[in-house]
């Protein structure tokens, strides 16, 4: 009698133990699966968003091309008109490449050495990148047009002021950065609290002024073969 009772209690305890451990494991597992799924969900959402903006931009480009093609179709037989359209397109590509002098509204930024610090290549790199992020259409530094392959190089860190090379030309502070862009939008994003102007002024100790302009003229890149090199590029 007492043996069977003991036996049954032992059995029940055994089952209980197994269940407990199983329970623990299953809950732990559920948690892990849930958190990894939430992570996957998040990255997928991000990827989808990125892909959608990409496609929007592609769509815009495609529409632009379709309009160009229909321009040529409509002008069939009219040689003068076709030549005009072609010239227009050449000009647009040249403008984008930085091969035309251009004028438009924008902002003039002057960056100068502070009392204790000098302008470095990275300061200018970050500034130009911020300017591009505010949809700038043309940029020059001390008269050098910033094109796709323009480098910003510091020759020697020990000289004061630093010597900076842009498009192969040496220059020193002050740096006059001319930008054609929406003046309000650009100056707002540059002057933002903790923005690039704040950082260069307060954190790096440089002098910097931003001035909105109705009309800014930006010269074309030197087209003497010293800046624009494309001898190693084969069109596909």
Partner 1 sequence: MKRKDLRFILMILFMLFGIIISVQFRSVLDANKDKPSIVYQIESLRDQLNKEKIIGSELREQIDENIKKEEEYIKSFISHSNDELIEEWKNARLIAGLTDVRGNGVVIRISDAAEFEGGNISNYVVHDVDLVVVVNELKKAGAQAISINNERIISTTEIICAGPTVRINRNRYAIPFEIKAIGNPKKLYEAIVNSPIAMEFKDFGKVFEVKEAKDIVIPKFSGDINNLVKGLEVVE
Of 29-48, which residues contact partner 1 (CB under 8 A)? 30, 33-34, 37-38, 40-41, 44-48
Region binding partner 1 by CB under 8 A among candidate stretches 111-119, 170-178, 202-210, 222-230:
222-230
Site for partner 1 contains 212 (CB under 8 A): no
Tokens found for residue 233: 């590029």
| DSSP codes of every residue in 143-210 | TEE--TT--EEES-SSSSSPPEEETTEEE-SSEEEEEES-HHHHHHHHHSTTSHHHIIIIIT--EEEE
The residues pairing with 175 across neighbouring beta strands, listed in sequence order, are 111
Binds partner 1 (CB under 8 A): choice among 108, 112, 114, 121:
121
Residue from 179, 151, 183, 176 nearest 164 by CA:
151
State which residue, 115 or 186, has the beta carbon closest to partner 1: 186
Chosen residue from 86, 120, 176, 213 binding partner 1 by CB under 8 A: 86
Check residue 192 for interaction with partner 1 (CB under 8 A).
Answer: no
Chain CA centroid to CA 188, Å? 18
152 lines the binding site for partner 1 (CB under 8 A): yes
Which residue among 3, 4, 53, 225 contacts partner 1 (CB under 8 A)? 53
116 vs 229, which CB is nearer to partner 1?
A: 229
């Amino acid at each position: 009698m007492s043996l069977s009772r003991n036996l049954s209690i032992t059995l029940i305890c055994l089952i209980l133990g197994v269940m407990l451990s199983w329970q623990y494991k299953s809950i732990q597992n559920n948690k892990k699966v849930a958190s990894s799924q939430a992570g996957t969900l998040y990255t997928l959402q991000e990827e989808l968003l990125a892909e959608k903006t990409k496609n929007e931009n592609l769509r815009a480009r495609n529409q632009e091309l379709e309009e160009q093609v229909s321009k040529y179709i409509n002008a069939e037989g009219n040689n003068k008109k076709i030549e005009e359209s072609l010239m227009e397109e050449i000009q647009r590509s040249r403008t984008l490449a930085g091969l035309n002098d251009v004028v438009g509204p924008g902002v003039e930024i002057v960056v100068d050495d502070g009392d204790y610090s000098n302008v470095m290549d990275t300061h200018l790199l970050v500034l130009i990148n911020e300017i591009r992020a505010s949809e700038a259409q043309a940029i020059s530094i001390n008269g050098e047009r910033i094109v796709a392959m323009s480098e910003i190089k510091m020759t020697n860190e020990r000289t004061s002021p630093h010597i900076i090379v842009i498009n192969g030309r040496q220059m020193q502070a002050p740096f006059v950065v001319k930008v054609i862009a929406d003046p309000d939008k650009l100056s707002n994003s540059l002057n933002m609290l903790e923005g690039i102007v704040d950082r260069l002024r307060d954190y790096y100790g440089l002098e910097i002024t931003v001035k909105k302009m109705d009309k800014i003229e930006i010269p074309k890149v030197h087209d003497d073969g010293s800046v624009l090199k494309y001898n190693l590029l084969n069109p596909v």
